[in-house]
């Protein structure tokens, strides 16, 4: 049992949550920078916006990781599907505009 004031504990825990949320936003931004390059590459080479085989592999991988991390594997799958839907939307838009800025070194 802790003797810390509950209000102070709440503030401390919320500060940790805020830090994790900030890290997640920056990680997602980096992920989308990478997937935008993939989308441009696919658009230039007439490749399909989605890759169901890769998505299945990633779902299985993420579910295993979630289980190891004591996170609900179904939640990991829902999160992945949500992100992939956004990625495919970006890839489809890139394909419609005929993206030409394929892979920029370091970006």
Q: What is the DSSP string of 1-70?
A: ---S-HHHHHHHHHHHHHHHHHHHHHHHHHHHHHHHHHHHHHHHTT--S--HHHHHHHHHHHHHHHHHTT
Which CATH number characterizes residue 13's domain? 1.20.59.10
What does pLDDT average to in each consecutive run of 10 residues of the chain (107 residues)? 87 98 97 90 86 94 98 97 87 63 35
Residue 81 has a pLDDT of 94
Q: What domain range is 92 assigned to?
A: 6-97
* Distance between CA atoms of residues 7 and 55, nearest Å: 43
77 belongs to a structural domain? yes
48 belongs to a structural domain? yes
What is the total count of domains within the chain? 1
Q: Which residues contact 59 (CB under 8 A, 6 or more apart)?
A: 77, 80, 81
């Amino acid at each position: 049992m802790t003797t810390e004031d509950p209000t102070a504990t709440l503030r401390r825990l919320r500060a940790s949550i805020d830090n994790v949320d900030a890290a997640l936003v920056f990680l997602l931004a980096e992920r989308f920078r990478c997937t935008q390059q993939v989308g441009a590459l696919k658009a230039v080479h007439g490749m399909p916006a989605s890759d169901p085989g890769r998505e299945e592999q990633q779902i299985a991988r993420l579910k295993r990781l979630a289980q190891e991390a004591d996170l609900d594997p179904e939640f990991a799958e829902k999160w992945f599907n949500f992100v992939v839907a956004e990625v495919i939307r970006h890839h489809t838009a890139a394909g419609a505009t005929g993206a030409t800025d394929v892979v920029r070194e370091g970006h």
